Amino acid sequence: MEDDLARRLLPLEGGINFRDMGGYPVRDGRRVKWGKLYRSGSMARLTPADEAYLAGLRFRCVVDFRSVREQEHAPNRWCPAAGVPYWSRDHREVFGQLHTMAERGIDSEDQAVAVMEDGFRHLPFQQAPAYAELVRRIADGHVPIAFNCTAGKDRTGGAAALVLSILGAARETIVADFTTTERAVDLRTAFGARPQDASSPYARLSEPVMAALAGARPSYITAFLDAIDERCDSVDGYLEEIGVPADTAAAVRAELLE
C-alpha cells in the first residue's frame, strides 16, 4: 500500500493531498487510466517548482469545490498563470453544519463521528451543481482533470467516490481511496484542526473530537454512498436527479478506463 501511495502522491513542495487516481480496478476487468484523474486539496501553496512539474501533466481542467470565502482566502493562482481552465461556483456553503455544531459544542468522539456522517449524507446533494459539472467535463474530454477542496478530504472525497462509482469500482475500492487521505496528508494541518486563534470554536474541542472531525473514516464515505442509494436507488439515478444526461456515464468510462 505504501508503494501504491508513493506512486499516487505527486512530488510537490506545496501540494496538499494531490494524487493520481489511476490504477483502480473496476468490475468489468478494466482499470482507471493513470495520468487522467487527480484529486487534491488547496492549490494555493504551489511553488514555482510545483507549477513547472504540473505543466508537464498537461491539465485541461481544474474543478474547485471550495466556497467563495475559501477561494478568496487561498486563491488558485496557478491555473490563470498556466492557462489551465478553472471552474468554481459562487457559493457560501460549508461542509454539513460543521461550523455551527462546533460553535454549539461537540462533547464526544461519537458525537463528532455522527456529525461527520450526517454531513456526508447531505454532501451529494449540497454539492450537486459542482459534481454535475465535474462529471460533464470528464465526459466532454476535459482530461487530464483535477478536482479539489481545501484538505482534499470531504468534498473532494465525495467527488472521487462518485466518479469511481460511475466507473464501476467496488465499494471497498472507493472506501480505500477515501481513507488513503489519512496517509497522504497531515489532516490536522490541512484541515486547520487546532487553530491558534482562541476565539475559534474548534479551539475548545477535545483531541478525540478533533481527530474524528479531521479524519477520513470509512463510515463517512459509506454514509455518502448510502445516501445516494437510499434517495436515488443508484448512481445512475443520482446523475439523473442532478441533471446529467443519460449517456454521460458511458462517456466518462470511455475517457477514464483502459
Residues with a known catalytic role? 149
Residue 39 CB burial class (10 angstroms; 0-12, 13-18, ≥19): buried
Q: How many Å apart are CA 4 and CA 56, to the nearest integer?
A: 21
The span from the CA of 127 to the CA of 94, in Å, is 10
Contact (Cβ atoms closer than 8 angstroms) between residue 19 and residue 9: yes
Residues 6 or more apart whose Cβ sits within 8 Å of residue 227: 120, 121, 122, 123, 124, 125
Distance, CA of 2 to CA of 71 (rounded, Å):
32
230 three-class SS: helix
Beta-bridged to residue 32, according to DSSP, are: 257
The DSSP string of 173-228 is HHHHHHHTHHHHS-HHHHHT-S-S-TTSGGGGS-HHHHHHHH---HHHHHHHHHHH
Q: How far apart are CA 10 and CA 17, in angstroms?
A: 8
